[in-house]
Structure formats: C-alpha cells, structure tokens
Structure 1
Amino acid sequence: MSLQVRRRLGAADVMTLLNATLGVVAMVVAVTVGPTAAARLVLLAAITDALDGIIARSQGGSEVGPLLDSIADVVSFGTAPALFLYVATRDAVSTALPAGIPLAGTVEILAVSAVPAVFVVFSLVRTALYTVHVGEEENRPGIQNTLGASILAAGYLAGVTMPAVLLAAGVLLSLMMVAPIPYPKLRARDAGLMGLVQAGAILAPAVAQRIFPRLLLLAALAYMTLAPWYYWAE
C-alpha cells in the first residue's frame, strides 16, 4: 500500500514541514552556535506556522494537515525553545549548585534539564488536549505554545538574558499553556502587523536598541495578559 505522499499532502502541509525543519535546525543551532541564533529561528518557525494556516484557509487543507501541524508545533514550539532554555541557563544553574554534593553529575543534569523538560511536557499536553477536545471555532483555553515560545525568544533577543528570569518565565509560560482561560484568535490585520515586527526581530534584532524584539515582546505580553478580557477577534 502506498502512502500517496504527493496526493495526500498539500501546499499548507509543505509549510508545516518547513516549520518542523526550522525547529530541528533551531535545536542544532542552540547547541552549536548559541541561544541568540536559535531564538531567531524559533521566531522564523512561528512565521511559517502562521503561513500554513493562511494557505490552508485560502487553498484548503488536507486530512492529515491538523495532525502534522500539532506534531510540528511540539517540535518547534515545545522542544526547540526547551533546548534554547537549556543552553541559555545551563552554566548559571551548574554554577549555583553547591560543591561536593553526592552524585554531582546526576544532580547537575537533573537541575539544568528540569525547566526545559517541564516546558516540553506542558507543550505536549496542551497540543494533545487542544487537538482532541477543542473545536476550530472555539476560543482556545491556555496560551498557544507558539506564543509561549515566541515570548521566550523575543525576550532573549530584547535583552532579557538573566538565567533566573528565563527559568521563571519558562515555568510560568508552561502553566499558562494549560490555564483555563480562553484566548481568542488574532485578527488578520493584527497578525499581519505582528508578523512584520517579528520579521524585523529576526532580520535585525539589534537595530535601534533592539526595537523590533522589544516591540514583539510587548505585543505578545499584552495579548497574553489582556486578550481574554479586552480583545475580540473577527
């Protein structure tokens, strides 16, 4: 039996696969190059995630599209930002551990991987529950894992690099993914504006005193804190 890949996958699915590819590259880059480059790739993956939805709405999606999208989200907005967090905080966490503790190597591994693991698990839970239990037209409980990943990436590019702040943000955003708070979809106009700012944060993160990542971080935090009460989508 053939999988009939060419017949069963559409243009939106190709963009979804590009999203997943960027997530994997971001993980490799986080380890080999550093967290700044990884953060830019996570934001680029978020743009492709938005584009696959636009293509699916305009050209129609495939039967496998929603499942592919969910899997890609876990790769790019669960695992990739978790590895970014690990690289950005591991030295500080390792240094903070007391000297001479028993099983020092094991304790260090557990300590530096704890928050990244929590982020992946909550992203996975949120994606699975949303896929099965939330309809397309319903407000979405909890923040999108795309938003959580974008806040971490934009924050780092904006200059928020203190390990304690990054770790605290990782825990908070993990909890927000499954919070029982309904979030409306962004209006097309607002999504387009955020996409332009996001592109600026990717292409020129340091220009004009980090203006693009700072604007993106401000917009993302405003949506996370205010949208359930003061934002109405089309």
Structure 2
Amino acid sequence: MHSRFVVGRLGIADVVTVGNAGLGFLAVALASVSPGLAARLILLAAVADGLDGVLARRYGGTDAGPYLDSLADVASFGVAPAMVVVAAVRAAWGFDSLRVTISVAIAALFVVMAVTRLGMYTAHDADSAQTRGVPTTLAATILAAGVLVGFTDPFPLVGLTALLAVLMVTTVPYPDLHTQDALVMGVVQALAILFPHRLGGGFAFGLLFLALAYMFLAPRFYWGR
C-alpha cells in the first residue's frame, strides 16, 4: 500500500537532497543582505550534496533520487551563486547602468548553463565514473569561496562567472573524486564555513585553491591516480 504522502516514499539520501534545495533558497534570500553568509550556505549545500551520495550508497537510493538531486542543484549551485554575483555587482555599481544589466545577463547565463549541464548529467553521466564539463557544484564552490576571500570586485567576478558558465557545457571529461580526496574537500569546506575569517581566511583560500586545482588539472592529471 502506498503512503498517503510523498515524503513516505523518500529515502534518507533524498531528505538530505531536498534540504540542499532549502539551503539554496536561503542563500538566494540572504544574498543581498550578506553575500558572505550566502556563500557559506552555498558551501554547506555542497557538503549536503556530497553527503546524500554517501547515504545513497550506504542505505540505498530511490528512483527519484537522481532527479531530486539535479533539481536541488539548480537552486543551490545555479540560482544561488548567480544571485550572490548579482548582489556583489549591485553593491558596487548600484542599479541603473549598462554594466549592471550585462552582469545580470551573465549571471542569468550561468543559471541557464547550470540547468543545461545538470539535465545532461542526469541523462547521460549519473551512473558514470566521469562527467562532461565543469560540475555545477565545483563552479558554485569556486564562486562562493572567492566571495569569502574577498574576491568581490565586479569585473573579475563577472568574468569568472562567464568563464564558469561556458566551462560547464564543454565536453571536457572530469573524473569523480576518489573517496579520500572527497573527504579532504569536505573537511576544508566545513572549516571554511565555520571559520571563514580565521588564519587570514586561510580555510577559504585553501578551498579556493583546491577547487581551482581540480578544475584546471583534473582532466589531464587525475585519471592515473
């Protein structure tokens, strides 16, 4: 007999996944108030995104899991980082200028490319040990970590957003992180969330360095590990 409520058909991994979507919404809501706090929520969503995979492997997933994951990622790693970029641009340039309009358009492009990539991932790469294009979680992590370290000057931030938007829809193959490397990344993410300004922002800088290193080096050098 079927449960009367949809929640009764979700697994524990699915619950974490939809919680990820809630974190994405909170990041959007707080982006204009505190871009730094919004960035930390995006990183927390990235931790949840890794955790739901661990839980699915440990306790089993559901047929809805891959679809819920991609939908949640649209909120947390597509819309939320784009709104953080828009908030940073408006804080610096105000509202009435051509450059703000262009910046908002690039942020919208980031969302479009994130949705495109997530759809392609769900259709073609969900069960593979590799994926095509820069993962949306990685792109969002780079933008969020950049904001935490003070990388909020509009010109380079918008330029980085445009670059990541394009890289998400390339056919460059990215291998899945090995378990130990994913654990290291998760620990650094957690430290950046909890202590974003300790040690001169060292944890956020460390996270940004690791994320950029994976983005540029993984397609060529990570496979042989």
1:15 match: 16
Do the aligned partners of 1:93 and 1:111 also contact (CA within 8 Å) in 2? no
Q: Residues 22-46 of structure 1, C-alpha deviation per residue, up to 9 Å, x if partnerless?
A: 0000000112x22111001000000
Gaps of 5+ in 2: none
Which residue in the other structure is 1:60 paired with? 60
Aligned to 1:24: 25
The 5-angstrom pairing of residues 103-182 of structure 1 reads 110-182=101-173
Shift in Å at residue 92 of structure 1? 3.5
User: What is the TM-score normalised by the length of structure 2?
Assistant: 0.93
- Secondary structure of the structure 2 residue equivalent to 1:137: coil
Paired amino acid for 1:225: F
TM superposition outliers: structure 1 runs of 4+ over 4 Å: 1-4, 93-96
Contact 1:187 1:233 in 2 (8 A): no
95 and 62 in structure 1: CA distance in 2 versus 1, 3 angstrom threshold: closer
The DSSP-based 3-state class of the residue aligned with 1:183 is strand
Task: Write the deviation string for residues 85-144 of structure 1: whole angstroms up to 9, x where unpaired.
Answer: 1001124344894xxxxxxxxx57733421110110000010111111225124201011
CA RMSD of aligned residues (A): 1.9
Q: Equivalences for 1:95-110 in 2 at 5 Å?
A: 97=97, 110=101
CA pair 171-203 structure 1, distance change in 2 beyond 3 A: same
Contact kept, 8 Å, 1:186 with 1:233, in 2: the verdict is no
> Which letter maps to 2:176?
K
Aligned length: 224
Alignment of 1:197-212 (within 5 A): 197-212=188-203
- The answer to whether the 8 Å contact 1:40/1:153 transfers is yes
Distance 1:131 1:139, change over 3 A: same
What's the counterpart of residue 101 of structure 1? none
Unaligned runs of 5+ residues in structure 1 are 98-106
What is the percentage of aligned positions where both structures have the same residue? Answer: 47
Q: 1-side partners of 2:224 and 2:87: how far apart?
A: 37
Match of 1:103 in 2: none
CA contact (8 A) 2:3 2:9 kept: no
Which position in structure 1 is the counterpart of 2:184? Answer: 193
Q: Distance in 1 between matches of 2:182 and 2:199?
A: 23
Equivalents in 1 of 2:150, 2:201: separation in Å? 8
Question: In 2, distance between residues paired with 1:233 and 1:74?
Answer: 31
CA distance in 2, matches of 1:162, 1:135: 36
TM-score (norm: length of structure 1): 0.90
